[in-house]
């Protein structure tokens, strides 16, 4: 994302219990700590663990954000659960040259074959990182690291304090998972 002062809209796809809503909130808090304007909000269907969930983040470096509607034309899409790729059109409305950040083991060639959109791709095996560092396959903090690597929407260090506030005694492991995902995320233009 080239101009950090413009309005940036991000849509998160996950399943109930995976932390998509938490990811959106953490990112918004980090942006606010950098002096930007931000909002984060969820969209639920049937509210149950495992059901598809959407979360949204808007970040503006210049002006307060007045719009309150769901994001239908995001600059970036983040997919926490690779199982959603076959049941949800995650790239719906993604702006041309937007960023698609996926938790996957697939190659860029396989991803590009699945998604015909003209977008930048970023991928990381967030599930493996989460299992290794957190001991559970909850990918929210790993995918925050992946998004920051792919987009530069906030500084990685701006997320440390929000993670500490949110996760308490588990914060250090979540920060480590986020940093490892940041390092391991591959981006293809």
Q: Which residue has the tokens 């409305």?
A: 93
Report residue 188 as tokens: 């293809």
Mean pLDDT (whole number) for 86-105? 93
Give the start-to-end residue ranges of the domains of the chain. 8-188
pLDDT tens for each residue of 130-156: 999 999 999 999 999 999 999 999 999
pLDDT tens for each residue of 8-54: 999 999 998 889 999 999 999 999 999 999 999 988 665 566 778 89
Q: Are 126 and 181 in contact (CB under 8 A)?
A: yes
Question: What architecture (CATH level 2) is domain 8-188?
Answer: 3-Layer(aba) Sandwich (3.40)
The backbone torsions φ and ψ at residue 167, rounded to the nearest 5 degrees and listed phi first, read -105, -5
């Amino acid at each position: 994302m080239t101009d950090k002062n413009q309005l940036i809209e991000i849509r998160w796809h996950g399943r109930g219990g995976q932390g998509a809503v938490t990811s959106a909130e953490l990112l918004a808090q980090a942006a606010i700590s950098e002096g930007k304007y931000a909002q984060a909000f969820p969209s639920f269907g049937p509210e149950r663990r495992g059901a598809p969930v959407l979360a949204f983040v808007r970040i503006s470096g210049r002006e307060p954000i007045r719009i309150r509607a769901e994001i239908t034309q995001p600059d970036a899409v983040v997919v926490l659960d690779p199982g959603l790729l076959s049941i949800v059109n995650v790239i719906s409305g993604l702006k041309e040259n937007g960023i698609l950040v996926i938790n996957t083991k697939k190659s860029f060639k396989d991803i590009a074959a699945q998604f015909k959109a003209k977008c930048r791709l970023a991928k990381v095996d967030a599930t493996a990182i989460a299992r290794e560092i957190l001991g559970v396959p909850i990918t929210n903090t790993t995918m925050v690291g992946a998004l920051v690597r792919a987009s530069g929407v906030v500084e990685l260090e701006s997320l440390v304090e929000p993670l500490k506030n949110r996760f308490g005694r588990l914060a250090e492991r979540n920060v480590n998972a986020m940093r490892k995902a940041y390092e391991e995320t591959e981006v293809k233009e």
